[in-house]
Structure 1
Amino acid sequence: MFFARLPLTMTGVTLTLYVVSDLGRGYGEAGIVGAASTLGTALGAPVLGRCIDRYGLRPVVAACGAASAAFWFAAPHLSYPVLVACALPEGLLCMPAGSLARQILTALVPAQQRRTAYSLDTILVEATFMIGPAAGIAAITALPATLVLSGLGVLFGLTSLLTYLQNPPIRDEGEPAPAGVTRPPLRSWLSGRLAATLLVAAGAMFCLVGTEVATLASLRSHGDGGWTGLVIVVMCAASMLGGIVHGGVRRSLPQGVLVLLLTVLVIPVGLLEQPWWLLMLALIPTNLACAPTLAATTETVSSLAPPAVRGEAMGLQDASTRLGLAAGSPVVGFAIDHASPAWGFAAAGLGGLLLAALGMLWTLRDRPVKFPALAASVRARR
């Protein structure tokens, strides 16, 4: 699944540079293509998860692999309007490598060790984001676009084929196979706590993508753009270190505390913009909470979702993170355009905190009464 995620992390920058350089369009028009693909992925993740729950892994992986390979082989031969039109269905049928990896880990790993497994998975996600975008930029700037985009099609097809042949389990040994499972009603498992966890995941991703945008804007505004790569690597390394600690301890902080640390610690970063190395150091504390927050939300989703709908629940988690990503960039970008990069950090933290707070309030609303005897006496008097 690490290799299945790699081409996914390469597509954004590769497609953007292709639209700008080879098709002669602007960055805004390139963003439309990316937004259509992201929207398709957000809409398709829970649907594909539900199909996995019902039909099993192989049919879904085969269909997604064929669709992705076909799109990327055809992309260099499409005009811009056709490329935009095809981006949405491409996102809809993109193999849900993230949610699928978490579903497989849930089936393979005992419950008491899942936090460690989810932390390791999140660490590997950080590794793909350290490798994929850089590899995509290097490829599209040094090689013909047709070769690069077709190469992405080969990668998508190959990783889908390997996943199909490996056919990892999506249920543990004590759970029935997809064919013998009756799907429970949506209201019976999409509880307030699960919905709150999805909001926490969206808030975390809003904060993370907003922090990246603000970091890039801050470095460029002070003429330190050449240090961007090093700063991003240090941010990813801090997140990986946090994931190692989160997965290694016996008892970790709950997801509410983790997302609070993630969002609050980034708000004052704008006060430490200069010099660039001070900004880099200021970003370490918030990124230490990045991987633990994402791993904690996965742990909560896996514990709340029944096995029969685990794929759909993991797909909803994917959709919530995608929506957080889609909202974070324009909101933080607006704050930067109308104020300064320093306010971008504040917008990233406050926006993520708002979404997470809505989720935590939802959890408190559904919390049972702590004093049942007192509650019973009150009802009796009524």
Structure 2
Amino acid sequence: MSFQTYADLWRIPDVRRILVLGLFLRIPMPASSVIVTLHVVGPLDRSYAEAGLVSTVLAIAMAISGPWLGRLLDRLGLRRTLLLPLAVLPITWSIAPWVGYLPLIGLIAVAGLFTVPSWSIVRQVVLRSVEPTQRTAALSADAIMTELAFMAGPVVGVLSASYLGTSWAMLVIQWLGIAAAITLWLLNPMITEGEPTVPSDAVPSDSGAPRRRFALPSWVNPGVVLLLAGTFTASLILIAEDLGTVAAMRDFDRTALLGLVMAIWALGSLLGALVYGALNRHPPAAVMLVLLGATTVLTAFAWGPISFAALLLLSGFFCAPTLTAALEAITSRVPSTVRGEVMGWHGSAITLGSALGAPTAGFAIDLIGWEGGFVLGGGLGLLIAAAIWLAVRRMSTPAEASLPPGERSPASAE
């Protein structure tokens, strides 16, 4: 284990600039989530369920936008892709704070469809700027900055809503994000080596052979699909832990400590990303998913707020590393010319996991109690991790069986 890797990364100018800029690009998202909720239940005088509907609409819109904006990044490059969000977002976020509930939903849906693909951009710049041996550490550094953004965002959102009011807070926070996007457009960092190119599967063929109208992209293969499924599962576990934590602190009659407990959970994730990136050998994504699922189930056995916070810290230690391991494995399996689109699908897997996990975990909590969220989330994680492991084993066995005995791996020989 060597933390010197992070110092080496920080000395790379492109990496340093994009990580700092990425922090400012991401903070508006969790900050606005809090502000919009307070705005809907406050000035608009609506219920929390209606506030949740706004969040669901935004999540669906962002899940749609990730792959197609990522594909535009691959085809058109950074500057031309950013022209779309920079044309739409200033209009939508300048109007949204001052309208009623239904127009707000429509404007937020449009804003979600044209969200700046910050995750794809930051990670592509980072991966382009580092050596292959530094890839995992670089993605871990990005995960650390993401955790910082999601720790600072809610605090910024609450403070700005308290001092400015929800309408002005929404406007100011989103315009700060737009300013960061304009800075990104001006800097125009390279996201791949050389100019963006159209993927080979998009080039018309002159061979005369019939082409399928809805052919899958060339990068789609069982390995990538399984890793996206693992990412979806990790996200489902995290939202189950999130809701379970709220329910647990209410059950312990310690609601006032909820913010502190959430910060402890985020700290565990940050420390996990830091350690994972510094390791000389990195456990695969399936192993990390098993550890995340197992420690999530273990948290259900807490007997009080102190033991709960300690077990949540332990589970948090595997949050960011699980997502990082899956992302590193995915990006290593696809060419750089389609990396933007693939990262968009990775983001969509996270968003959809949260969207599906929230009502599922809520049902388990209503049925069993706060423990239900952790048992359901962690249990599903363990089951899907086992399914992924079996699928990978079934795919690898036929390939290895065709090799000469001397070239087979020890695992295949057992």
Interval containing the TM-score (normalised by the shorter chain): over 0.9
Query: Residue 248 of structure 1 aligns with which residue?
Result: 278
Query: Residue 378 of structure 1 aligns with which residue?
Result: none
Query: Residue 352 of structure 2 aligns with which residue?
Result: 323
**Structure 1 residues 77 and 208: CA distance shift in structure 2, 3 A:** same
Shift of 1:268: 2.6
Gaps (5+ residues) in structure 1? 376-382
Shift of 1:359: 3.8
Mapped pair 1:51 → 2:56: no
* Percent identity of paired positions between Structure 1 and Structure 2: 31
Is 1:67–1:94's contact at 8 Å kept on the other side of the alignment? no
1:88-127 to structure 2, matched below 5 A, reads 88-127=109-148
**Structure 1 residues 357 and 78: CA distance shift in structure 2, 3 A:** farther
Mapped pair 1:190 → 2:220: yes
Q: Which moved more, 1:245-254 or 1:365-374?
A: 365-374
**TM-score, normalization by structure 1:** 0.93
Query: Residue 174 of structure 2 aligns with which residue?
Result: 153
1:266-285 to structure 2, matched below 5 A, reads 266-274=296-304, 276-285=305-314
Mapped pair 1:216 → 2:237: no
**Structure 1 residues 196 and 143: CA distance shift in structure 2, 3 A:** same
**TM-score, normalization by structure 2:** 0.86
Shift of 1:246: 0.8
Query: Residue 380 of structure 1 aligns with which residue?
Result: none
**Structure 1 residues 358 and 43: CA distance shift in structure 2, 3 A:** farther
Q: What is the CA–CA distance in structure 1 between the aligned matches of 2:113 and 2:384, rounded to whole Å?
A: 25
Between the two proteins, the alignment pairs up a number of residues equal to 371
Mapped pair 1:204 → 2:234: yes
Gaps (5+ residues) in structure 2? 1-21, 203-214, 406-414
Shift of 1:365: 3.8
Q: What is the CA–CA distance in structure 2 between the aligned matches of 1:39 and 1:149, rounded to whole Å?
A: 20
Query: Residue 88 of structure 2 aligns with which residue?
Result: 67
Is 2:36–2:166's contact at 8 Å kept on the other side of the alignment? no
CA offsets 1:121-146 (integer angstroms, 9 cap, x no match): 00111111110012112221332222
Shift of 1:8: 1.3
Query: Residue 45 of structure 2 aligns with which residue?
Result: 24
Is 1:333–1:344's contact at 8 Å kept on the other side of the alignment? yes
Mapped pair 1:177 → 2:206: no
Is 1:62–1:161's contact at 8 Å kept on the other side of the alignment? no
Is 2:128–2:191's contact at 8 Å kept on the other side of the alignment? yes
2:327 to 298, 312, 316: 298
Could you say what secondary structure the match of 1:142 adopts?
Answer: helix
1:132 to 139, 153, 156: 153
Counterpart AA for 1:178: P
Query: Residue 402 of structure 2 aligns with which residue?
Result: 372
Q: What is the CA–CA distance in structure 1 between the aligned matches of 2:315 and 2:253, rounded to whole Å?
A: 24
Shift of 1:373: 5.1
1:287 to 300, 316, 329: 316
Counterpart AA for 2:118: A
Shift of 1:355: 4.0
Shift of 1:19: 0.6
Shift of 1:364: 3.2
Runs in 1 of length 4+ with deviation above 4 angstroms? none
Mapped pair 1:258 → 2:291: no
**Structure 1 residues 261 and 67: CA distance shift in structure 2, 3 A:** same
Query: Residue 16 of structure 2 aligns with which residue?
Result: none
CA offsets 1:129-167 (integer angstroms, 9 cap, x no match): 110012112221332222111102311220110110111
Is 2:201–2:217's contact at 8 Å kept on the other side of the alignment? no
Shift of 1:222: 1.9
Could you say what secondary structure the match of 1:170 adopts?
Answer: coil
Q: What is the CA–CA distance in structure 1 between the aligned matches of 2:119 and 2:161, rounded to whole Å?
A: 25
2:367 to 321, 338, 346: 338
Mapped pair 1:308 → 2:326: no
Query: Residue 351 of structure 1 aligns with which residue?
Result: 380
Shift of 1:358: 4.1
**Structure 1 residues 268 and 32: CA distance shift in structure 2, 3 A:** same
Is 2:246–2:258's contact at 8 Å kept on the other side of the alignment? yes
Q: What is the CA–CA distance in structure 1 between the aligned matches of 2:41 and 2:132, rounded to whole Å?
A: 47
Shift of 1:2: 1.2
Q: What is the CA–CA distance in structure 2 between the aligned matches of 1:298 and 1:178, rounded to whole Å?
A: 21
CA offsets 1:156-182 (integer angstroms, 9 cap, x no match): 22011011011111113xxx4114764
Shift of 1:98: 1.3
CA offsets 1:325-351 (integer angstroms, 9 cap, x no match): 111111111111122001111112123
**Structure 1 residues 48 and 362: CA distance shift in structure 2, 3 A:** farther
Is 2:286–2:388's contact at 8 Å kept on the other side of the alignment? no
Shift of 1:73: 1.1
